């Protein structure tokens, strides 16, 4: 009995040892890569400083040109030149990003904008630069932004294992930097001059270029393919764009929204709030809107709807709330609530939309798809901003805002009515 027990015990030990060794040979299931990997950290810093620097530009141009005795129209011309250059060249930016890789084009764009910011910094510090130089450098900065922007969309899926979470995190930091940029520029102008704001603006381009240069992204097979002509690639991008009903459907609906709602909303809000409550109140409300955008990004971190575009469209119902309160002349406290809701709604939609595009469009076409999206949206928003003043002068600012609220509801209904948009699944 003792011997038998000993043998059984030996077999038991041997069996357990075998199981232990077998378990060691079976590889453990691999954990998904973390979001905050080296590439994403570098890209996060690059995006944060870039948005911060871009947010400084309107304040810097306004302080520099008005301080030099120029009219307010010159500020509009300088910023309008930037916007026009961006809208005209962003399609070419998408093609060039496909041709030379997005990371290279973004680094080139930062380096292209850096000398212009340095010249403006020195010029406004020493005196008043000629207007032609200011306008030319503003246009050059807009071209650089156009070359940079398409690469943002295609880079995120290549560095982030969770595209929606990455977009949400970036949206939060962008919202915070949009608030911080103008505030810091105002402090710099008050303590020194506009040249100091442009100097910091140029530094942000240098930091962004350095972060992007330090990233290590594995090449795609398409990166080494022989490319067609520029015109052929633009045409190919258009075919890719047109072949996706949900994509061109959203952008078609969004052009109406940009023309009638998003475009007029910014200048009319500024004029209405400033006229009724003062510029300080307007600044506070814009800060509240930015805080709402940050919260919208945080919500997009937690909520993962099965149909992202449908969920984003429903969230857009927060925008007509904001417009209605403005159009009805609500008290400042309610206006603040409306700005917060509107900022959160728009940020949530942007994360859902960006994630849908980046996960459903092939990587080799993503730069051009994003360029078509940006160009169409920006052009209509520009037209809407241009027409908002004359239309409001005829029918009234409040009436234009209330009409925009009604159109915003119809836009949501249109997004939810189109089946390919409503049913597009999360990937």
The shares of helix, strand and coil residues in the chain, as percent rounded to the nearest 5, are: 85, 0, 15
Asked if residue 130 has pLDDT above 50, the reply is yes
Instruction: Calculate mean pLDDT across residues 104-133.
Output: 88
Percent of the chain with pLDDT over 90: 21
Give the pLDDT band of residue 69 (cuts 50, 70, 90). confident
Q: Which helix (H) or strand (E) holds 170?
A: helix 163-191
Cα–Cα nearest to 275, from 223, 326, 219: 326
What is the pLDDT at residue 156? 87
What is the pLDDT at residue 13? 39
Residue 102's alpha-carbon distances to 43, 148, 188, 394, in angstroms, are: 12, 8, 33, 46
Ramachandran region, residue 396 (left: φ > 0; alpha: ψ -120 to 50; beta: rest): left
Write the pLDDT tens digit of every residue in 246-280: 888 888 888 888 888 887 887 788 778 877 887 67
What is the pLDDT at residue 334? 93
Cβ atoms of residues 323 and 404 within 8 Å: yes
What is the token pair recorded at 252?
């078609």
The SS3 assignment for 409 reads: helix
Write the pLDDT tens digit of every residue in 285-327: 888 888 898 899 899 888 889 999 999 999 999 999 999 999 9
Residue 194's alpha-carbon distances to 91, 138, 177, 181, 409, in angstroms, are: 32, 15, 19, 14, 41
What is the pLDDT at residue 11? 35
Percent of the chain with pLDDT over 70: 85
Asked if residue 74 has pLDDT above 90, the reply is no
What is the token pair recorded at 375?
């160009």
CA distance 329 to 331: 7
Instruction: Calculate mean pLDDT across residues 70-82.
Output: 75
What is the pLDDT at residue 397? 84
Q: Is 230-427 in the same CATH topology as 34-162+177-227?
A: yes
CA distance 57 to 411: 32
CATH topology of domain 230-427: Growth Hormone; Chain: A; (1.20.1250)
Residue 191's alpha-carbon distances to 54, 195, 296, in angstroms, are: 20, 11, 34
What is the pLDDT at residue 228? 59
Q: Which helix (H) or strand (E) holds 413?
A: helix 397-417
Q: Domain map of the chain by residue range?
A: 34-162+177-227, 230-427
313 vs 153, more confident: 313
Asked if residue 203 has pLDDT above 90, the reply is yes
- Pick 34-162+177-227's CATH classification: 3.40.50.800, 1.20.120.420, 1.20.1250.20, 3.40.190.10: 1.20.1250.20
Give the pLDDT band of residue 226 (cuts 50, 70, 90). low
Give the pLDDT band of residue 344 (cuts 50, 70, 90). very high
């Amino acid at each position: 009995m003792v011997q038998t027990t000993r043998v059984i015990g030996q077999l038991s030990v041997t069996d357990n040892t075998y199981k232990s060794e077998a378990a060691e040979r079976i590889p453990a299931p691999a954990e998904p890569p973390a979001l905050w990997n080296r590439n994403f950290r570098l890209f996060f810093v690059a995006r944060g400083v870039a948005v911060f620097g871009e947010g400084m530009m309107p304040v810097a141009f306004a302080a520099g040109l008005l301080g030099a005795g120029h009219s307010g129209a010159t500020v509009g011309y300088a910023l309008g030149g930037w916007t026009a250059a961006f809208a005209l060249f962003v399609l070419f930016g998408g093609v060039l990003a496909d041709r030379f890789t997005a990371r290279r084009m973004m680094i080139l764009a930062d380096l292209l904008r850096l000398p212009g910011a340095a010249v403006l910094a020195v010029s406004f510090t020493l005196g008043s630069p000629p207007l032609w130089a200011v306008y030319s450098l503003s246009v050059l900065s807009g071209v650089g932004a156009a070359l940079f922007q398409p690469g943002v969309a295609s880079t995120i899926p290549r560095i982030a294992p969770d595209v929606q979470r990455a977009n949400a995190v970036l949206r939060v930091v962008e919202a915070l930097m949009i608030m911080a940029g103008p505030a810091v520029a105002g402090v710099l102008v008050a303590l020194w001059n506009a040249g100091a704001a442009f100097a910091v603006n140029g530094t942000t381009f240098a930091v962004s270029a350095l972060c992007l240069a330090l990233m290590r992204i594995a090449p795609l097979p398409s990166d080494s393919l022989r490319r067609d002509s520029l015109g052929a690639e633009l045409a190919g991008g258009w075919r890719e764009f047109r072949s996706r009903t949900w994509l061109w459907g959203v952008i078609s609906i969004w052009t109406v929204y940009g023309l009638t709602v998003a475009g007029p909303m910014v200048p009319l809000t500024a004029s209405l709030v400033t006229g009724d409550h003062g510029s300080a109140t307007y600044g506070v409300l814009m800060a509240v809107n930015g805080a709402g955008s940050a919260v919208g990004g945080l919500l997009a971190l937690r909520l993962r709807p099965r149909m992202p575009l449908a969920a984003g469209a429903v969230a857009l119902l927060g925008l007509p709330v904001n417009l209605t309160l403005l159009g009805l002349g609500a008290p400042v406290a309610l206006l603040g609530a409306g700005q917060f809701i509107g900022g959160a709604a728009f940020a949530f939609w942007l994360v859902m939309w960006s994630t849908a595009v980046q996960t459903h469009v092939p990587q080799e076409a993503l730069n051009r798809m994003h360029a078509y999206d940006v160009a169409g949206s920006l052009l209509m928003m520009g037209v809407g901003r241009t027409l908002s003043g004359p239309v409001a002068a005829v029918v009234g600012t409040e009436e234009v805002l209330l009409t925009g609220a009604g159109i915003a509801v119809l836009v949501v209904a249109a997004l939810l009515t189109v089946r390919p948009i409503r049913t597009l699944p999360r990937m």
